[in-house]
Amino acid sequence: MEPSLSVKIGRLKLNNPVLVCSGTFGYAEELEGLININRLGAIVSKTITLKPCQGNPPARTCETPAGMLNSIGLENPGLEVFIRDKLPKLSSFGIPVIVSIAAKNKLEEWTIIAKHLDSIKTVAAIELNISCPNVGSKDRLEKLIAQNPKETARIVRLVRRSTSKTLITKLSPNVTDITEIALAAQMAGSDALSLINTVMGMSIDIKEKRPKIANIIGGLSGPAIRPIALRMVWQVYKSCKIPIIGMGGIMDWQNALEFFLAGATAVAVGTANFINPNAAEQIIMGIKDYLKKHNYATIRALIGGLKV
């Protein structure tokens, strides 16, 4: 008998627990033909704001040891264009679409976006991006909502009242105690947690004596942050009762299994997509082979299985 890879995130049922991270898969159309998109557990869209956003000036990315820095700055076409031009394609693959959202200017933007998406059947869930580290001027990055438990709870409550869809809150690693923020999101009504977002970092061109990123500070992703992500998933799993979507430097199925053992219900592949568009599909196959080899009937048997 084939092992079951199905999991539940809130009210959202996934055929398998491997997603693609917001911002690393575009709107799927960019990778169509390179990967069997319909085999993914779900797609998480690039973060959408109410109005179009140009994002940060170039240079926006640079390679670092075992990772990369990015400072895209939430570039997106805005909610109206997303619903009209991007969502139909995302929905055509027959797998759940999770829409990542953020507010740029006013608090009520969270509510407006959530209410619009709540009425759209093809939107399976909403992810609250309260943790993007690349918003603000080059001289001063804005404080993140996800760095404050009260503000985190405030936003989650606002959106919770505006939608009946599964609500996922994406947390930041740039905090002292990740469990404090996670508990605040859970108590405010979040159905699940995504962690982690990128780690703040910078890189300098010593020849030019200038930052390699125009915004000076960017978000570090890739294998370099995997130990941080694993530690935080494990800590939150011990503290919270809602499902965790683990992410941060997952490059292969072995990496993914670490996250399940640490307590993740699902995983999301990010930076690996830039190196190998087939990474997520290969991870799904690797997980299934591992379950067969070790006689596990379901992936759920591994969740939180870390022995300490």
Instruction: Work out the angle at residue 111's Cα, subtended by the Cα atoms of residues 185 and 85, and round it to the nearest 5 degrees.
Output: 110
In a domain, residue 306? The reply is no
d(CA 49, CA 78): 5
Q: Is 33 exposed, middle or buried (0-12, 13-18, 19+ CB in 10 A)?
A: exposed
In a domain, residue 130? The reply is yes
Which two tokens mark 78?
Answer: 């805005």
Cis bond before residue 35 (omega within 30° of 0): no
- 134-160: burial string, b at 16+ Cβ within 10 Å, e else: bbbeeeebeebbbbbbebbbbbbebbb
Q: Which residue do the tokens 């910078």 mark?
A: 202
- For residue 234, give the H/E element and its range: helix 226-239
The domain total for the chain is 1
Summarised one tens digit per residue, pLDDT across range 213-230 is 999 999 999 999 999 999
Q: By three-state DSSP, how is residue 98 classified? A: strand
In a domain, residue 134? The reply is yes
Say which CATH number the domain at 192 has: 3.20.20.70
Catalytic residue among 21, 53, 62, 132: 132
Q: What is the chain's pLDDT, residue by residue, as a tens digit (308 residues)? A: 899 999 999 999 999 999 999 999 888 888 888 889 999 999 999 999 999 999 999 999 999 999 999 999 999 999 999 999 999 999 999 999 999 999 988 899 999 999 999 999 999 999 999 998 755 444 445 689 999 999 999 999 999 999 999 999 999 999 999 999 999 999 999 999 999 999 999 999 999 999 999 999 999 999 999 999 999 999 999 999 999 999 999 999 999 999 999 999 999 999 999 999 999 999 999 999 999 999 999 999 999 999 99
Q: Is the pTM of this model over 0.85?
A: yes
Domain coverage including residue 243: 7-56+73-201+221-301
Beta strands at 123-129 and 192-195: parallel, antiparallel or unpaired: unpaired
Q: What is the DSSP string of 128-154?
A: EE---TT-B-SS-BPPPGGG-HHHHHH
In a domain, residue 117? The reply is yes
Confirm whether 53 is a catalytic residue.
Answer: no
